[in-house]
Amino acid sequence: MPKLKTNRSAAKRFKKTGSGKIKRAKQGSNHFTGKKASKSIRNLRKSTLVSDADLGRISKLLPY
Structure confidence by residue, pLDDT tens digits, 29-55: 999 999 999 999 999 999 999 999 999
| Averaged pLDDT score across all residues of the chain | 97
Residue 2 covered by a domain: no
What percentage of the chain has pLDDT greater than the value 90? 98
* 8 — pLDDT class (breaks 50, 70, 90): very high
Residue 44 covered by a domain: yes
**Nearest-CA neighbor of 22 among 47, 55, 57, 44?**
55
Residue 1 covered by a domain: no
Residue 3 covered by a domain: no
| Domain enclosing residue 49, as ranges | 8-61
Q: What is the pTM of this model?
A: 0.85
The DSSP secondary structure of 1-64, one letter per residue, reads: -PPPPP-HHHHHHEEE-TTS-EEEEPSS-SS--TTS-HHHHHHHTSEEEPPHHHHHHHHHH---
Residues in CB range of 14: below 8 A, 6 or more apart:
22, 23, 24, 50, 58, 61, 62
